[in-house]
Amino acid sequence: MQGLAAASRVVVLATFFLIGFGVAAADGRRRLVSGSPDEPCRQMTLFYHDILHDGANNTANATSAAATSPPALSNDTYFGMLVVFDDPVTEGQALPVGAEEEPAARAQGFYFYDGKGFFNAWFAFSLVFNSTAHRGTLNLMGADLMGEETRDISIVGGTGDFFMARGVATIRTDAIEGLYYFRLQMDIKLYECYV
């Protein structure tokens, strides 16, 4: 009986080892964790372009649409409005024109306005990379406190080139054109990377 119990313990320990430490080893990656906020293991700057459907004229160009209308209690803050998007993300500020210009990534997800007395939104989206430079996703979520000059959104995971990445995207509003277009600059810093 004691021999069986000892063998069982070895199997259990080996299983925990493989699950806990073997994930990165399975595809040859090793985990890097930054020891300082000033030294991320990976960083990049990207520009997020959102073209909200205006309900009439910009159907061909729109990259986002309101999935709900704000209720009457919104008080001009769009409180309660949910927007679903598939937005281009570029390395430079210019919006890609035509099929010959591919964006660096696509931002796919949603945001909703959750400030009743002030403009505030909450984002949840994936940056989907499918280019020669990067493949995979980065998953972001958090509050967009629009009254602040810069705000941080958490990077909570990733796939492909960004396998299990963790970090912060510091965003700032880079451009606004009326009610239907805005561009955000995203300074992405990853503090946990697998390379």
The Cα 31–Cα 18 span in angstroms is: 15
Show pLDDT as tens, one digit a residue, over the chain (195 residues): 455 565 555 555 444 444 454 444 446 888 989 888 889 999 999 999 999 998 776 777 899 999 987 777 656 788 889 999 999 999 999 988 766 678 999 999 999 989 888 889 999 999 999 988 899 999 999 999 988 999 999 999 999 999 999 999 999 999 999 888 999 999 999 999 998
Entry pTM: 0.81
Residues 93 and 126 in one domain: yes
The Cα 71–Cα 16 span in angstroms is: 51
Residues 150 and 86 in one domain: yes
Residues 118 and 73 in one domain: yes
> Rg for the chain (alpha carbons), in Å?
21
The domain tally of the chain equals: 2
The Cα 52–Cα 160 span in angstroms is: 30
Taking alpha carbons only, the member of 159, 82, 66, 91 closest to residue 114 is 82
Domain that holds residue 6: 1-28
